[in-house]
């Protein structure tokens, strides 16, 4: 565990140094270090023999849900990875997209009042290159199905984690491996899968986060939220305290976004330049039939602004998928109540992204 944590921390140290000048806070030395990030003979998928890591470790959550399989695989050489949510009998799915900077695949039929039945959803690092992992999931689904005459559908969404000193990304092979490893009832948290190298709170340089999840069962209704936070904003707990991001190392205090701006103004400093690429990816999934899945997605996505502030900025590309396996009906739990419960689970999931961080 210590070796894994050190590897991720080194990635963030490199990021902080390389982006400090751009943020209006650092020095020229940090900018020069960033220029050394990709020398001749760059480390990338085409120049290295990469070995996927698939062994799940603590922390993780476990639950009983055969209709939802989860797989994770990552390249320690990055570190970067992907997390796959596989529905053996498909799931009705919609997507809510907010902010000004996102990238995804197979999205046209999932937003603006549309829904579709998906076989899988793939969250990946590697920026737009990481969308290749979703094609690997689809290819593996075809192989898994015996190459039958059927079109499998995988939607992919990515985070930008290329602050590393390499250009390694989750590729088609990694997507295939992640699907092969998919099993029901287990979700790995922290620095695993897509959670290898995300961060949050760009005011004073980002701090590392990971992937998180939360599950609850009410009667026959199963409800889960899974997320990876790579946000411009900082993470808040239920007491209204910042627990990750916006750390002023000079004072040791975490500042709100407003306080960051006010500090810059009072110090007559150059306004901080936000990170260009930030994304929070989320899946809320239930086994209960939902009459208005799109509204559920909006409700839960909006609620996450309590946990991440600011949220949905012009520098963020936030995507929330809402899916149902449609296994049961529960008249005692309507769409509104389901949204309330899912919103609280979403906050739990955001806080759980810090599970693997000392």
pTM of the model: 0.88
Is 159 a residue whose pLDDT tops 50? Answer: yes
Q: What's residue 51's pLDDT?
A: 96
Q: What is the 3-state secondary structure (H, E, C) of the chain?
A: CHHHHHHHHHHHHHHHHHHHCCCCCCCHHHHHHHHCCCCCCCCECCCCCCCEECCCCCCEEECCCCCCEEEEEEECCCCEEEEEEEEEEEEEEEEEEEECCCCEECCCCCCCCCCEEEEEEEEECCHHHHHHHHHHHHHHHHHHCCCCCCCCCEEEEECCCCCCCCECCCCHHHHHHHHHCCEECEEECECCHHHHCCEECHHHCCEECCEEEEEEEECCEEEEEEEEEECCCEEECCCCCEEECCEECCCCEECCHHHHHHHHHHCCCCCCCCCCCEEEEEEEEEEECCCCHHHHHHHHHHHHHHCEECCCCCCEEEEEEEEEEEEECCCCCCHHHHHHHHHHHHHHHHHHCCCCCC
**120-148 mean pLDDT:** 97
Q: What's residue 102's pLDDT?
A: 86
Q: What's residue 12's pLDDT?
A: 38
Identify which has the larger pLDDT, 223 or 101: 223
Instruction: Indicate if 279 belongs to the active site.
Output: yes
* pLDDT tens by residue, 174-190: 999 999 999 999 999 99
Out of 149-158, 257-266, 308-317, which region has the weakest mean confidence (pLDDT)? 257-266
Out of 23-27, 293-297, 317-321, which region has the weakest mean confidence (pLDDT)? 23-27
Domains of the chain: 2-352 (3.60.70.12)
Is 10 a residue whose pLDDT tops 70? Answer: no
* pLDDT tens by residue, 260-312: 778 777 766 555 555 668 999 999 999 999 999 999 999 999 999 999 999 99
Q: One of 16, 279, 286, 325 is an active-site residue; which one?
A: 279
**Is there a contact between 335 and 295 (Cβ–Cβ < 8 Å)?**
yes
């Amino acid at each position: 565990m210590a070796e894994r944590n050190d590897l991720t921390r080194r990635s963030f140290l490199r990021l902080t140094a390389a982006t400090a000048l751009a943020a209006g806070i650092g020095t020229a030395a940090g900018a020069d270090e960033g220029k050394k990030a990709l020398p001749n003979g760059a480390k990338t998928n085409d120049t290295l023999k990469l070995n996927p890591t698939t062994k799940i470790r603590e922390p993780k959550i476990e639950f009983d849900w055969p209709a939802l399989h989860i797989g994770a695989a990552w390249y320690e050489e990055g570190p970067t990875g992907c997390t796959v949510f596989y529905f053996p009998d498909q799931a009705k799915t919609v997507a809510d997209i907010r902010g000004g900077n996102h990238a995804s695949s197979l999205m046209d039929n999932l937003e603006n009042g549309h829904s579709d039945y998906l076989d899988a959803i793939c969250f990946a690092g590697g920026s737009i290159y990481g969308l290749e992992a979703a094609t690997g999931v689809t290819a593996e689904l075809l192989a898994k199905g015996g190459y039958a005459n059927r079109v499998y559908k995988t939607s992919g969404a990515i985070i930008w984690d290329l602050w590393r000193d390499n250009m390694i990304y989750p590729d088609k092979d990694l997507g295939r491996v992640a699907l092969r490893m998919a099993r029901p009832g287990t979700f790995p948290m922290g620095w695993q899968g897509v959670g290898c190298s995300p961060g949050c709170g760009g005011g004073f340089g980002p701090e590392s986060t990971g992937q998180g999840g939360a599950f609850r069962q009410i009667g026959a209704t199963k409800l889960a939220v899974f997320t990876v936070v790579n946000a411009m904003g900082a993470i808040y707990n239920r007491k209204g305290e910042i627990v990750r991001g916006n750390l002023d190392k000079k004072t040791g205090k975490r500042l709100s976004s407003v306080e960051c701006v006010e500090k810059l103004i009072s110090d007559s400093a150059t306004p901080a330049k936000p990170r260009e690429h930030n994304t929070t990816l989320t899946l809320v999934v239930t086994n209960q039939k939902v009459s208005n899945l799109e509204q559920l997605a909006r409700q839960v996505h909006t609620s996450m602004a309590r946990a991440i502030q600011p949220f949905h900025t012009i520098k963020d590309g936030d995507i929330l998928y809402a899916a149902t396996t449609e296994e049961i009906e529960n008249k005692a739990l309507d769409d509104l109540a389901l949204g309330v419960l899912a919103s609280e689970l979403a906050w739990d999931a955001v806080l759980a992204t810090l599970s693997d961080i000392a």
